[in-house]
Each structure stands twice: as structure tokens, then as C-alpha cells.
Amino acid sequence: MSNEEFPHLPTFDPSDSQTYSAICHCGTVQYTVTLSPPLAKQKVVECNCSICSRNGYLLVYPLREQVDIKSGEEALKSYSFGIKRNRHLFCGRCGSSVFFDPRMPEFGESPDIFPVNVRMFKDVNLKELQIVHWDGLNKSRFVDSEHLQ
């Protein structure tokens, strides 16, 4: 994969950011996510691949350092499949799909992002989100959100 095809990593601008509280269904896994730009300005990815559609993911891609797990990290379980490029993290008590960890070993060091499921965010109206659809069922690699139709 050439660099032009690799997803653009997010940049963080503290003057254009907002922190969101998030929680799994049972309340065990609690965390905050600081997004730049704020969620209202983000493109939220809904992928049709088998794992994303079954888990109900609506994803944003913050830098790893912008995700702060407050409690329940020890309760997180993971699932990987196929070439095991990603670890899908879910609450071991209630099963809520919370994050995924993109390891992408074929590219060497993994990107410093930590995709989070917006469905876990508190007080967010999903109808107000800018959702873009990614055809992960037919495409094996992710591209940056500018290319999502």
C-alpha cells in the first residue's frame, strides 16, 4: 500500500475540540474521548463489513492519547479474526463493542489511533451525526474519510 492510500492520521487542535463521556451498557467500562474537531464536525464511519455491522459500530478515529479509560480496562476482552490485523475490544460483562485497536503489522508500527464506537457516548443524538458509509465488505483496506462516499 502506498502512502497516498494510507489513512490520514488525525491532528489535534485544542482550540477546536470537545471531550465526551462514554460508557458501556453495564457501566463497567467508562472513558472520555477528546475529539478535534468536535463530533458535530466529524465524519462518523459506518462500515458494512461483517464485524462492524454485527457490532453496530459507528466509528471516529481519535489519537490514542485522546482516549482516557477511567474504569473497567481490566474487564475489556478482545476478538481478532482473519489476518488478525485489528483487536476488537468489548466489555467482558455486557458485551458492548467499545473500541478497536488497529495493529496493521504489515505496515510496521501501527498508527497511533484508537477508534471508538460513538454509540457508547453519553448525550449524543445519533440522528445529528455526519455518517459516511464505507464498503468494508468489498474493500480490504481503510482509506481516509475524504474518500468515503
Q: Taking the domains of the chain in order of start, what are their residue ranges?
A: 14-136
Side-chain half-sphere exposure of 110, counting CA atoms within 13 A: 15
State mean pLDDT over 99-115. 75
Q: Which pLDDT belongs to residue 77?
A: 98
Q: Which pLDDT belongs to residue 115?
A: 93
Q: Which pLDDT belongs to residue 112?
A: 80
Checking if the pLDDT of 140 tops 60, the result is: no
Checking if the pLDDT of 1 tops 50, the result is: no
Q: Does 112 or 80 have the greater pLDDT score?
A: 80
Class of the domain covering 14-136: mainly beta
Rg (CA), the chain: 15
- Is omega for the bond preceding 37 within 30 degrees of 0, making it cis? yes
**Alpha-carbon separation of residue 20 from 25, 44, 45, 137, 143 (angstroms):** 16, 15, 17, 30, 25
State mean pLDDT over 59-69. 93
Considering the entire predicted model, what is its pTM?
Answer: 0.83
